[in-house]
Structure 1
Amino acid sequence: MQITTYNNNGLNDVLMIQFKKMEATKQVTERNGDIVLIKSKADGEATGINLFKASDYLEGLTEGPLELDKKAVDKLNSLIEEAGFSVKLETDYSPKFVIGYVTSCEPVEGSDHLNLTQTEVDNGEILQIVCGAANIAQGQKVVVARTGAVMPDGMIIWPGELKGVESNGMICSARELGLPQEGKGIMVLPDDAEVGKAFSV
């Protein structure tokens, strides 16, 4: 998984690609030219790449989260290879916000408000998602932010754990999607909503 963001206003023409969520204090950097490799201190695993003077190498950059096309990914991979780093970027055009169907919903042991859901997102693909909304229930059609999604407020959805339970994605409220919130909790879609279809934020 890779999260790509272009920051021109705050960091002056820097493209940031993040592979893994990790505290800055647990990472080290290595620079060659305009490419910076970010690695875990513990095991040397690559956690990200920064490209300085990004607009010198790539066209059409806009402030904020980006989806890179194949041409941009190929260019970046060429720059990374020239810098001597053994990291390879991949293209990913799968939608990050999709319509899901809650196939099961059970309380999380030891919690008074969390529920463990199994939520279908496409052609039988099931995601385990922990949800804290009071109105979550089995049989609902919902909006799912998959891992790798960047929310309208800039928050990135990473794999995680709640109360020790693995959670891969988020079932969204209207407010979290930047839409008018009519009631408390998650946004429940009509029964005829198509599971797996991309949801535009």
Structure 2
Amino acid sequence: MNIFYNKQGIGDVLLVQLQTETPEKIHPEQFGDVTLIKDGAGEIAGFNLFNASSYAEISGNKQVEVTEELVTVIQHALAKNNIDFVLEVDFSPKFVVGYVEAKEKHPNADKLNVCQVALGDEHLQIVCGAPNVEQGQKVVIARVGAVMPSGMIIRDAELRGVASSGMICSAKELALPDAPEAKGILVLPEDAEIGSAFEVKA
């Protein structure tokens, strides 16, 4: 779940995104202060909560940190507007330290590599175009559902016929101070803990 708020730009509205993909066709339904946004299959893809500041104290301008407290408040707001829908939220970190276990050339693209990355108990296959990615590195992984500082949402993808789940990040993509201009992923120190959260400022 991703939550956005921009009072100056669009008013006192909380934008809640539940699906990583934007539906091709949307069907809005209004219930009091809530507009449900359903996809073509009738599933709730997201919703807008109007008069948001009357339900919760919201700080920031753009992406809002998803906390258990905020989810509880939003759940109560849905109930108050007669919407019977339970929010299921993954609170696991979206930016984590990963370990490149294996790297092989992409079968259909000279400048891409297919990497097998460990995040503790979880393993991902990620297609990476960085020239400096190598087996044995500790790196920052943006998992599916992560919102990059640029506003881009990480989604499951297929690059030249090979599935990719997540992104190996550069310092520039993470908006780190003094990030180098040269292309290449951020390689972390040896003592970085695999699977631990990596703090990224939206």
Structure 2 segments unaligned to the other structure (5+ residues):
none
Q: State the Cα deviation string for residues 150-170 of structure 1 (Å, max 9, x = none).
A: 111111112222223222111
User: Is the counterpart of residue 8 in structure 1 residue 22 in structure 2?
Assistant: no
Q: Is this contact kept in 2: 1:4–1:15, CA < 8 A?
A: yes
Out of 172, 180, 194, the residue aligned to residue 175 of structure 1 is: 172
RMSD: 1.8
Q: Within 2, Cα distance between the matches of 1:98 and 1:53?
A: 34
| Identity fraction in percent | 48
Q: 1:125 to 1:152 in 2, by over 3 A?
A: same
CA 1:100/1:49 → structure 2, altered by over 3 Å: closer, same or farther? same
Hey, what's the Cα distance between the residues in 1 that align with 2:171 and 2:67?
A: 29
> Once the 2 structures are TM-superposed, how far is the Cα of residue 61 of structure 1 from its aligned partner?
2.9
TM-score normalised according to structure 1 size: 0.89
Equivalent in 138, 157, 161 of residue 135 of structure 2 = 138
Deviation, structure 1 residue 184: 2.4
- Unpaired runs of 5+ residues, structure 1, are none
5 Å-filtered alignment, 1:98-109, equals: 98-109=96-107
Residue 186 of structure 2 is aligned to residue 187 of structure 1? yes
- 8 Å contact kept, 1:5–1:66: yes
SS in 1 for 2:115: strand
Matches within 5 A, 1:1-201: 2-23=1-22, 25-41=24-40, 43-122=41-120, 124-179=121-176, 180-181=179-180, 183-201=182-200
| 2-structure distance, mates of 1:197, 1:22 | 26
Q: Deviations over 1:102-146 (max 9, x none)?
A: 011122221121211111112x31111111112112111111111
Following superposition, the deviation at residue 27 of structure 1 comes to: 1.2
CA distance, structure 2, for counterparts of residue 83 and residue 20 of structure 1: 22
Cα deviation for residue 91 of structure 1 reads 4.3
- Which residue identity does 1:128 align to in structure 2? Q
Other structure's SS at 2:196 match = coil
| Contact map agreement 2:23 2:45 (CA 8 A) in 1 | no
